[in-house]
Amino acid sequence: MAKNDMHREWALKTRGQEESGALVESVVEILDCAALCFTEMGFQGTSIDDVARRLGATKGRIYHYFRSKTDLFFEVHREGMRRLMDAVNEAMSAGGTGREKLVRMLEAHALTMMQNIAYEAVVVQGVHMHRLGATTPEQRISLDELMDIRHKFELLFVEAFRQGQADGSIRQGADVSLAVKGMLGAVNWMAIWYRPRSGESPEQQRAMARRITELQIGGIAG
């Protein structure tokens, strides 16, 4: 599902069909600005005022769509996971051996991290928040739902890895869970260290994604 279609689906559920036309663009703009604020200042350090200033709008425009800063944070997190899931599902659907799928999926994961670094940094913050348990019971429900999405994301890589072991493209002795967690951990860490360089091209990003993937895949070939 395309990004705008996903926002349209979310918009129709939360604000009603009569507003769906202008709402999609407005929500995307708010999420983009919020992602940057949360990445630069963290959840605790960011206020709705900060997001509104970056947006060049009033707080009322944000509160029209989101009840609180926490709701806004969770929606940025959810959008970050949507983008990762879309990219990896597409890479997985192209077929091939398990190893070929895994290579494409890791490259798609890394490239999506680079192209959406602010959103993906918020995803990492959300995981940290979940681990610390620094939430209210209501927030915990939302975070548990997001962690379930993350678990399903990980299972896609587990599926490709096991297919590779079955077809001989990935060695049998490798521990599936440990290997997948290690690979995803290495790529997810890009949310901490990666920032686009001035003049960085899409080709350079793809080359970096390939190199990161090569480093993760090297020890599992069948």
For residue 21, CA distances in Å to 7, 66, 136, 197 come to: 11, 18, 34, 35
Q: Are residues 45 and 112 in the same domain?
A: no
Q: Are residues 42 and 98 in the same domain?
A: no
Give the model's confidence band at 23: pLDDT under 50 very low, under 70 low, under 90 confident, else very high. very low
Residue-wise pLDDT for 120-150, tens only, equals: 999 988 877 766 665 678 778 888 888 899 9
Check pLDDT > 80 for residue 222.
no
Position 58 scores a pLDDT of 94
Position 20 scores a pLDDT of 46
Q: Are residues 169 and 214 in the same domain?
A: yes
Residue-wise pLDDT for 168-216, tens only, equals: 999 998 899 999 999 999 999 999 999 989 999 999 999 999 999 999 9
Q: Are residues 205 and 194 in the same domain?
A: yes
- Tell me the residue length of the chain: 222
Q: Are residues 35 and 131 in the same domain?
A: no
**What pTM does this model have?**
0.85
For residue 148, CA distances in Å to 34, 49, 200 come to: 23, 31, 34
Amino acid at the residue 200: E
Name the token pair of 218. 């090297």
- Cα–Cα dist 176/182, whole Å: 10
Q: Are residues 117 and 183 in the same domain?
A: yes
Asked if 90 contacts 108 with a C-beta cutoff of 8 angstroms, the reply is: yes
* CA proximity to 123, closest of 139, 142, 146, 145: 146
Q: Are residues 40 and 89 in the same domain?
A: no
